[in-house]
Structure 1
């Protein structure tokens, strides 16, 4: 068995304690999420709170791919978070990643600083009367535009993966999470509008966001709105069709 533990120099003084937590992960911390694929726990060490994400153990083929051909999700999450911060994009600070190999990748963990947040993007979907909703949508559009301008194609740009804090009156900060599916590439207009598809936007939301993006990008509202709406509706139709098939 081989272990690979990499920690940000900022937290090197906690390396031993963090490794102890990881080696006995099932007995440490409080659950934040407990899904079928991944588990996230929060732990406190010397007054600092950390989130530890344990990724699902891959099958034999995938485990060999992760050992020899591709970076693990934990390592990608750490590296992508570091790159985002370098580009001025907010995400919980990357602390460390930990991998266990034995005939392939067996376990992998990503550790980040825990942040308290006010709400996530899902609130804007489920509550059309959400206070300051239009302000948040416009600023979120600027945030997404900044991603695109920096050549960031966040493939999981979905409602649960942006945490939001109100920092001042009508001013909001956005934090990306769940980072392991991301590409750094030139973003043309088609890719940019396609990137909005997973956000499950209503017609009203598309109208507000398309207007804001059109002004930022220098495109007409008509063209921006048409393409954003097209990709949003196509994605929603695809997901709804899958749900319908499962029910049948």
Structure 2
């Protein structure tokens, strides 16, 4: 097991390692996912969030062993980069990697658990916050701040931004960090970063207006580019879902 702790973590490292060892049988399940699992552990009175990444396919087992950084390592390193750039994310604690011979097994990313008031999804779903103009506008300004600091969050989707409501505004925390790029972005790329968020036109207009005000760009141009990207994404998404349904039906017919 390859183990790397953050130099800023002063807590109980032995307890963290025991939590990894007993991940399958202990801890409180936080999120049911097909690919990865998240559990919460109480370590000396503090709640720790541990994400277990599934064993990769055979090609990535070799790649993660010799060529690429694992998802856990990237999550850990990107969390530190975000904090250096003064972007909020739950504090990184450690990452663990199972390595054996020429292959790679499971990996784990450990961070402090954050209790938030809502996620971005609550802004677009049926919740008391749905369509909240103040928070949507603040989120758009936050996204512009990411772009200004040359952070391209590839998984900028409804479940990956946690929101805390403060007396003087809102704090946004990024999670699920293993897919990011860093560097300057052109206008088209920045607008594309909104494509997986809301598909409700009125909400997109609120975000476009706020982003344009923050960036100094034309609001009609910003909205047009945002909306075009969202529609393109929705079209690709539905084509993919229809293909999966047809494939599933074909498999059932074949085995019947």
TM interval, shorter chain, is over 0.9
**Tell me, what secondary structure is at the counterpart of 1:234?**
helix
Corresponding residue number in structure 1 for 2:84:
86
Divergent runs of 4+, >4 A: none
Counterpart mapping for 1:1-248 below 5 A? 3-102=1-100, 103-127=102-126, 130=129, 133-168=132-167, 171-248=169-246
Q: 1:129 to 1:34 in 2, by over 3 A?
A: closer
2: distance between equivalents of 1:47 and 1:13? 11
Shift of residue 179, structure 1, vs aligned partner = 0.3
Moved more, 215-224 or 64-73: 215-224
Shift of residue 12, structure 1, vs aligned partner = 4.3
2: distance between equivalents of 1:136 and 1:193? 19
Q: Give CA-to-partner distance per residue, 1:93-135, whole Å, 9 cap, x none.
A: 0000001101311110000000101111111111386377000
Q: Give CA-to-partner distance per residue, 1:200-241, whole Å, 9 cap, x none.
A: 331001111111111111111111111011001110111122
Q: 1:13 to 1:128 in 2, by over 3 A?
A: closer
User: Does the aligned pair in 2 maintain the 1:99–1:109 contact within 8 Å?
Assistant: yes
Q: Give CA-to-partner distance per residue, 1:123-158, whole Å, 9 cap, x none.
A: 111138637700000100111001000111100000
Q: Structure 2-normalised TM-score?
A: 0.92
Unmatched runs of 5 consecutive residues or more in structure 1: none
**Tell me, what secondary structure is at the counterpart of 1:115?**
coil
**Tell me, what secondary structure is at the counterpart of 1:197?**
coil
2: distance between equivalents of 1:12 and 1:212? 40
Q: Structure 1-normalised TM-score?
A: 0.94
In the alignment of these two chains, the number of paired residues is 245
1: distance between equivalents of 2:213 and 2:47? 40
1: distance between equivalents of 2:195 and 2:220? 17
Unmatched runs of 5 consecutive residues or more in structure 2: 247-256
User: Does the aligned pair in 1 maintain the 2:123–2:131 contact within 8 Å?
Assistant: no
